[in-house]
Amino acid sequence: MKILFYNIAYATGLNGSWRQYVNKMWRLVTTSPTAFKRISQTIKQAGADVVCLAEMDNGSFRNRFQCQTKALADHLQAVFFATESKYEPWSIWRFMTLIRKQHDAVISHRNGEFKAHYLKTGLQRLVSEFVVDGISIFLVHLAVLRRKVRARQLRELAEIVNRCDRPYLICGDFNLHDGLDELDEFKSLTKTQLVETPMTFPSFKPNRTIDLFLVSPELEVAEAGVMEVHDSDHLPVWVKLKGAA
């Protein structure tokens, strides 16, 4: 089974350079149809069985009220997709224009079951779980600014995955801007193994490893890598599991 994770940055088409942020600042409030088309092609070319996505716009004015997840699922001819707001159901952010349409998503060529969990800490608290072929795939997007907040989120995430009664994989944008040692406590609590992949951020000149996969002891990784594309400020990262056809 091949699994791809990609933070598409709402298809704004910015590659993470300050020059682009300054010269194309308007892209922060409007998507780029050209970038989204290229992102869709990249994901299709990856040939992943399951695609996990962060920073999807699911119908705000920024994306001309169109759902990026459905459009991408249609393009991939996927048999399953699920999308959920980053913010818990009772959050004030669910009622705010633009922000309420900021989602994470799972698109799959295999049928499965989607579950939503929520952390207690941070602004964006969603932990998506997709159960497929006897494996749970967890998708996260942790806090960007403060290491202490990420540490609390990781402890809460450990509680969620430790309740899982099947082999599991965790992927997402962990925002570990202070280094991979931020994961030490989490790996100890969960006995998970970090999958070694190249740096992913910013995509135009990667110098940080923040888009990650971790696997439970029952799973083995056959291959892993990133795709060298620059339609988001993150590079897409993928793994192929051993013994999972």
For 51-95, the pLDDT digits (tens) are 999 999 998 888 888 999 999 999 999 999 999 999 888 888 788
Is the pLDDT at 42 greater than 90, yes or no? yes
pLDDT on residue 22: 79
Is the pLDDT at 244 greater than 70, yes or no? no
Q: Provide CB contacts within 8 A for 182, sequence distance 6+.
A: 147, 150, 151, 154, 174, 176
Taken in order of first residue, the domains within the chain and their CATH numbers are: 2-241 (3.60.10.10)
Half-sphere exposure of 86 toward its Cβ, with a 13 Å CA cutoff? 25
- Best CA proximity match to 60, nearest among 87, 100, 95, 90: 100
Average pLDDT over residues 38-63: 95
Residue type, position 148, single letter: K
CB 85 within 8 A of CB 94: yes
Q: Which residue has the higher pLDDT, 138 or 14?
A: 138
- What is this structure's pTM? 0.95
Parallel/antiparallel/unpaired status of strands 50-57 and 2-7: parallel
Average pLDDT, the chain: 94
Q: How does residue 30 score in pLDDT terms, banded at 50, 70 and 90?
A: confident
Is the pLDDT at 28 greater than 90, yes or no? no
Q: How does residue 228 score in pLDDT terms, banded at 50, 70 and 90?
A: very high
CB 211 within 8 A of CB 176: no
Per-residue pLDDT of 94-117, as tens digits, reads 888 778 889 999 999 999 999 999
pLDDT on residue 61: 84
pLDDT on residue 141: 97
pLDDT on residue 152: 97
pLDDT on residue 245: 58
The angle, 0 to 180 degrees and rounded to 10, between the axes of the packed helices 68-76 and 33-46 is 40
CB 190 within 8 A of CB 158: yes
